[in-house]
Amino acid sequence: TVGKPIECFSAVAWKPETDFSKPAVSLEKIIVAPPAENEVRIRIDYSTLCGTDLQAAAGKDNEAHFPFVPGHESAGTVESIGPGVTTVKPGDKVIPCYQAQCFADDLSKDQCPRCRGYRKGKTNLCGKVRGFTGAGVMRAGGVRFQGAEGQQELHHFMGISCFSQYTVIHEESAGKIRDDSPLSKAPLLACALPTGFGAVMNTAKVEAGSIVAVFGLGTVGLSIIEACKRVGATRIIAIDTNPEKFERALAWGATDTVNPKEHDGPIQDIIIKMTNGGVDYSFEATGSVDVMRAALECAHIGWGKSVVVGVAAGGAEISTRPFQLVTGRTWTGTAFGGFRGREGVAQLMDDYMDGKFDIDPYITHNVPLRDINEAFRLLRAGESLRTIIWM
């Protein structure tokens, strides 16, 4: 297959689908072109579905360009490499990283101004290919997907497009992981768990003894709770509008649960009352801008820090009284938990293999690719954490 187009099955999002009673994507044969310069073609072995994919399929992500090949959480095996690729080879196991990471120290490759020189280490938000991944195209030009009947070209999504059996990504997005990595667990390290763990450890830097509030108890919220417990937070208040989410939150380490629907008045006031003045750290993992405001406002005067993790619908904006910030609260956010893409997934896989955390509790369902719409149904209904999609 090297150097030749591959025909395979893929999910395709043809148009925004906001009606949750209808399938989110269609399954069909597509053609995947060989990798161009500095690109890698990957056989995707397993994928998972994230809250962000629901937004994109519903047309609420301004960087999802229809028609596109969806998906951004996966693990697979390098099938072939394009000219100039030096950091992975055919047969390597990889986690495709939507948060790409350039070669800041390699002067032979052209460099990214966000990652080099005195700026090195300031951010994980590498800028090398970000403009292209946001536009749904490849840096070397065009797209690598087309309908099998030779019809339309299909856009890439987040630089990943892993709901296809084969995909093409930039070398900067190919996170090599060790040869003994279990690929069926690895997709959770592509987004959900690094985001939650890193929000706590890298972005907020929660200390032992802290009081925290976590809004949204999906996979991301639960991984925030897990990390808060690990660093020794003594009170973990778990908030969700779906009471079915509380049993797991408590099992994960939450000390209190709150359902905003059971209270009159702003939820921030309830939490301020429960904590005698507010929490040291709050995390928003729902994607609702109203919840983002509540999370900021339940942070303690003088030092409380609130981390936006959820992705809001395109065009939505946050607001609060500036007084909330004048009086010492900090409002910040996190992408991929602040981990640098390729280094991050390799390190997290090592940590997993060393037994530092578990992945299985976050996997509630398994489906074959042909049933991917069932994975959408489960997540839309709040019935699943991560569903492994067998590609």
Q: Which positions lie near ligand AHE, rule CB under 6 A? A: 50, 52, 61-63, 99, 125, 130, 191, 311, 314, 335-336
Closer CB to ligand NAD, 192 or 298, in the complex: 192
Closer CB to ligand NAD, 5 or 134, in the complex: 134
Q: Which residue has the tokens 């495709």?
A: 96
Helix (H, G, I), strand (E, B) or coil at 61: coil
When binding is defined by CB under 6 A, the residue of 82, 278, 310, 341 that contacts ligand NAD is: 310
Does the footprint of Zn ion cover residue 52 (CB under 5 A)?
yes
Q: Which residue has the tokens 């509540």?
A: 294
Given a contact cutoff of 8 angstroms between Cβ atoms, the answer to whether 348 and 193 are in contact is: yes
When binding is defined by CB under 6 A, the residue of 291, 292, 295, 369 that contacts ligand NAD is: 291
Per-residue binding letters, 175-194, with Zn ion (x by CB under 5 A): ----------------x---
Q: What is the DSSP string of 232-250?
A: T-SEEEEE-S-GGGHHHHH
Q: Which two tokens stand for residue 300?
A: 């303690």
245 binds, among ligand NAD, ligand AHE, Zn ion, none (CB under 5 to 8 A by kind): ligand NAD
Q: Which residue has the tokens 């390190």?
A: 347
Strand partners, 166: 43
Given a contact cutoff of 8 angstroms between Cβ atoms, the answer to whether 294 and 283 are in contact is: no
Q: Which residue has the tokens 């409380």?
A: 304
Number of separate helices (H) and strands (E) present in the chain: 10, 17
125 binds, among ligand NAD, ligand AHE, Zn ion, none (CB under 5 to 8 A by kind): ligand AHE
| Residue of 317, 378, 334, 314 whose CA lies nearest to 24 | 378
Closer CB to ligand AHE, 234 or 332, in the complex: 332
Residues belonging to the chain: 391
Q: Which residues 311-370 are close enough to bind ligand NAD by CB under 6 A?
A: 311, 334-336
Which of 9-17, 31-39, 174-182, 280-288 is the region at the interface with ligand NAD (rule: CB under 6 A)? 280-288
What's the CA gap between 220 and 218, in Å, rounded? 5
260 binds, among ligand AHE, ligand NAD, Zn ion, none (CB under 5 to 8 A by kind): ligand NAD
Q: Which residues 245-274 are close enough to bind ligand NAD by CB under 6 A?
A: 245, 260
Q: Which residues 42-61 are close enough to bind ligand NAD by CB under 6 A?
A: 50-52, 55
When binding is defined by CB under 5 A, the residue of 11, 50, 115, 129 that contacts Zn ion is: 50
- 218 to each of 4, 142, 291, 362, 368, how far by Cα in Å? 40, 35, 15, 9, 22
Site residues (vs ligand NAD, CB under 6 A): 50-52, 55, 191-192, 195, 215-221, 239-242, 245, 260, 285-288, 291, 309-311, 334-336, 379, 382
